[in-house]
Amino acid sequence: MTATITTTPKLLREAVQLDGFATLPSGVLLAAFAGVLAEPLGIPAGVLLAAGLFFVAWGAGLLFLGYRPVINRRATIVVGIVNIVCAVDGFVVEVAGIGELTTLGSVLLIALSVVVLAIGALQVYAATRRTPA
């Protein structure tokens, strides 16, 4: 009888942890400075606060997932798809002219959307690639 050892590939673990380590502190800063950032970005303080609090919870969940002994590949695919959808949503908001973003707000939204798209794609790739036995 042989035992099967299930492990998590390094790239998969790092893709999830990277997202958590980027998202959680970003959420803390966004929530803490929502009132200060509202005018320069052209985004209402309440929206920034809500987004920041969501990022704190999402980032904590990602870190929980990223430090599990074995990371669930399906969960990582879902996380990656959520990131990709959020990135596309950011592009749509900018292209459609939704809201009254300032130039700084637009540049930040596009830059964050590019980064989130890349992280989401990395997560889906890492979760679906075949690893040697």
| 27, 60 Cβ separation under 8 angstroms | no
- 85-97 residue pLDDT tens: 999 999 999 999 9
Per-residue pLDDT of 56-81, as tens digits, reads 999 999 999 999 999 999 999 999 99
CA distance 20 to 38: 24
pLDDT digits (tens, 9 = 90+) for 92-127: 999 999 889 999 999 999 999 999 999 999 999 999
What are the structure tokens assigned to 24, written together? 């959680």
